[in-house]
């Protein structure tokens, strides 16, 4: 039985999280343009839509670009990218909680933000 103090095991876990938090934001970001996985603008609270100077679909495309960039950063500058993804997910969760729009998604995003934070901390151990 191996322990987490085993450097090889830590590296495997760090790489798993790196690819998850690199690929998933890129895929989700690309889908903001195609809405294959979900109709993304339905996740925007009506009050948020009222505040936007453009359509919800346009806003989600902007979000998609940010997510793609964040995912790429995770793949090449893992620690920095993981902090960015963690903060990004936390901001999404807070906006969903404050508007009480999809609170279930907010909880999921808080869990993912925590996992991205763990990736950042694991990556710091390698530096």
* Helix, strand, or coil (residue 100): coil
Q: What is the pLDDT of residues 42-63, one digit of tens each?
A: 988 888 899 999 999 999 999 9
CA–CA gap between residue 105 and residue 56 (Å, rounded): 18
In a domain, 2, yes or no: no
Band of the pLDDT at 125, cuts 50, 70, 90?
Answer: confident
**Segment 8-25, tens digit of pLDDT:** 888 999 999 999 999 999
**pLDDT for 62-116, tens place per residue?**
999 999 999 999 999 999 999 999 999 999 999 999 999 899 999 999 999 999 9
Residue 1 lies in a domain: no
Q: Residues with Cβ < 8 Å from 12, sequence gap 6 or more? A: none
The token pair at 67 is 């997510």
Choose among 71, 84, 72, 78: nearest CA to 113.
Answer: 84
Residue 78 placed within a domain? yes
Nearest partner of 86 among 32, 21, 34, judged by Cα: 21
Answer yes or no: are the C-beta atoms of 117 and 86 closer than 8 Å. yes
- Is position 27 within any domain? yes
Whether 81 contacts 124, CB under 8 Å: no
The reported pTM is 0.89
Q: Looking at the 3D structure of the chain, how many domains does it have? A: 1
- Note the pLDDT of residue 15: 96
Q: In which domain, by residue range, is 16 found?
A: 7-126
> What tokens appear for 16 in the block?
């798993």
């Amino acid at each position: 039985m191996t322990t987490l103090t085993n450097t090889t095991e830590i590296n495997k876990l760090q790489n798993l999280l790196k690819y998850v938090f690199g690929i998933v934001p890129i895929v989700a970001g690309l889908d903001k343009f195609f809405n294959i996985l979900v109709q993304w603008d339905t996740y925007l609270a009506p009050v948020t839509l009222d505040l936007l100077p453009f359509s919800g679909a346009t806003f989600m495309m902007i979000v998609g670009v940010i997510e793609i960039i964040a995912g790429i950063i995770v793949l090449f500058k893992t620690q920095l990218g993981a902090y960015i993804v963690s903060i990004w997910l936390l901001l999404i969760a807070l906006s969903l909680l404050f508007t009480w729009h999809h609170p279930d998604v907010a909880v999921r995003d808080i869990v993912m933000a925590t996992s991205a934070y763990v990736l950042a901390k694991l990556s710091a151990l390698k530096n």
